[in-house]
Structure 1
Amino acid sequence: MGFWHGQMGTLIRETGGSAAWFGAKETTTALFKEQRLKSVTSEVERAALAATPLPFWQQAIAGASAGIAYNFLFFPADTIKSRMQTTPLGGSHVKRTFWSEGVAVWKQHGLKGMYRGCGITCLRSAPSSAFIFMVYDGLKRHLPMH
């Protein structure tokens, strides 16, 4: 059973985090595209601009926002998961669940305890997610899947 200890936190982090990751990237991309289209008046120019990829710096910001959203929004789940996985099993007769571990973190350290280490994690994930999505968008343009 120790192999599966903390899996609920992983499930929450990965499902919610993935939705936040792609959602933040697509939302930021859509905002940049909308901003670009505001200056265009003709439909021909609008269509041409819509088909043009965003500049690299905007792609990078969209990707960075994805990494930050993934980590920031679901960091408490990761904190609880890590705590569950690093605490030795056995010895205690108290059944430790994801919820009970979360309550314990909250009682001991409050909101600050749920986000301990989040800043450096977001700082690390911003450039890596920026790079990942720049490569992803480039491959999507040059290797169409349809």
Structure 2
Amino acid sequence: MAETASELRKQILLKHGEQKASTSYDEERSIPVKEQLGENLHDGLSFGQFMLAGSVAGMVEHMAMFPVDTLKTRMQMLASAGGSYHSGVGKSFLSIVRKEGPFGLYRGIGAMGLGAGPAHAVYFSVYEVCKEKLGGNKPGHHPLAHAASGVIATTASDAVLTPMDVVKQRLQLRSSPYRGVMDCITRIFREEGIRAFYVSYRTTVVMNAPFTAVHFATYEAMKKVLSGISPESASEENLLVHIMAGGTAGALASAITTPFDVVKTRLQCQGVCGADKFTSSSIGNVVQTIVSKEGPTALLRGLKPRMLFHAPAAAICWSTYEASKNFLHHWSAHSSS
């Protein structure tokens, strides 16, 4: 009878999305659900399960939004690579489709497929661990803990993603000289050395540190605001909350960090298809070169497609991530029972 009552209480708590449900239940039943890889984490999930949820979220996000990412790359390389595409998002889209066909928008997607899963697995799992350690899961609003956790997470994940991001962006260029992912990897390694895969890593971290700090802090803050507006409908498990909070966070963070993204793209694609080469990978040197040749507005090139990418991408990513966490949470609870 006691076991039946405990099971019923657990199901009620899970239904209302309370994070302590699995913990209290496991303490009562002495089943270490959260110890699959050694360390207990909140939400009743292990480190490995956070990695799995993050991997799924990253793959879905980047695959769904890849055509917009191609537009952003083309627009940012417009002057440097001697491109002839129109500056408008719509005209650039039609120009690519007309000249290269619909598949021109997906060139390089294989490289992103190889990099996005592992990188986002690291991204979200490190974020969850750091947020727990820094007190971000305690009651109340903790923007500094969320921001710091995001910065640490992106520094780790960028080390995984940057090499494939270099390959992806070179394949996205108009008239790219590479036949495919493996050809691009082989030629970069042979002709430029392994350093070429990480030439933009410093810039990427400098860009993604404020991007992620703003992103995570805004996301967590928006969830609190939405929960305060309508507590009965804006729960942790509400899909609309994750979509709205994620979309707002993605749009704001991408707008703020666009100049760094332009620098990153130029570094990763330098020397390809006639693009400018830089004497060093210093951010200041690249910015000075771009401004002197194209004017300061060149640092905002690709702003619209970047925001068009990150707003829905963040909404997709967060909602997928939270849905995956919820599924794994229920799966763990069901397996333990």
- Fold match by TM threshold 0.5: yes
Q: Which runs of 5+ in 2 are unaligned?
A: 1-194, 333-337
Distance in 2 between residues matched to 1:3 and 1:18, nearest whole Å = 22
Are the aligned partners of 1:33 and 1:54 in contact in 2 as well (CA < 8 Å)?
no
Larger Rg: 2
Deviation by residue 1:92-136 (Cα, 9 ceiling, x = unmatched):
8944521111122234321x2111111112112222211221122
Matches within 5 A, 1:101-116: 101-107=286-292, 108-110=294-296, 112-116=297-301
2: CA distance between counterparts of 1:50 and 1:113? 43
Q: Select the structure with the greater relative contact order (CA < 8 A; seq sep ≥ 6).
A: 1
Q: For residue 222 of structure 2, what is the aligned residue in structure 1?
A: 28
Identity among equivalent pairs (%): 18
* Residue in 2 that maps onto 1:127: 312
Q: How does 1:1-146 map to 2 (within 5 A)?
A: 1-36=195-230, 49=232, 52-53=235-236, 55-88=238-271, 94-95=279-280, 97-107=282-292, 108-110=294-296, 112-142=297-327, 143=329
Q: Cα offset for 1:61?
A: 1.0
Residues 133, 4 of structure 1: alpha-carbon distance in 2 compared, 3 angstrom cutoff: closer
Cα deviation code 1:25-61 (max 9, x no counterpart): 1111111122235xxxxxxxxxxx4994364333211
Distance 1:23 1:30 in 2: 11
> In the aligned structure 1, how far is the partner of 2:264 from the partner of 2:323?
35
Structure 2 distance, partners of 1:82, 1:88, is 12
Give the structure 2 partner of residue 44 of structure 1.
Answer: none
Counterpart amino acid of 2:262?
T
Q: How many residues align?
A: 131
Please state how far the C-alpha of 1:72 moved relative to its aligned partner: 1.6
Structure 1 residues 13-22 or 114-123, which shifts more? 13-22
Runs of 4+ in 1 over 6 A off after TM superposition: none
1:43 aligned residue: none
- Normalized against structure 1, the TM-score is what? 0.71
1:40 paired residue number: none
Q: Is the 8 A contact 2:254 2:307 kept in 1?
A: yes
Structure 1 CA distance for aligned equivalents of residues 323 and 298 of structure 2: 39
Q: Deviations over 1:44-91 (max 9, x none)?
A: xxxxx49943643332111111221332221111101111222239xx
1:9–1:77: 8 Å Cα contact kept in structure 2? yes
Query: Residue 245 of structure 2 contacts residue 315 of structure 2 at CA under 8 Å; is this kept in 1?
Result: yes
Gaps (5+ residues) in structure 1? 38-48
Distance in 1 between residues matched to 2:197 and 2:218, nearest whole Å: 32
**What letter corresponds to residue 102 of structure 1 in structure 2?**
V
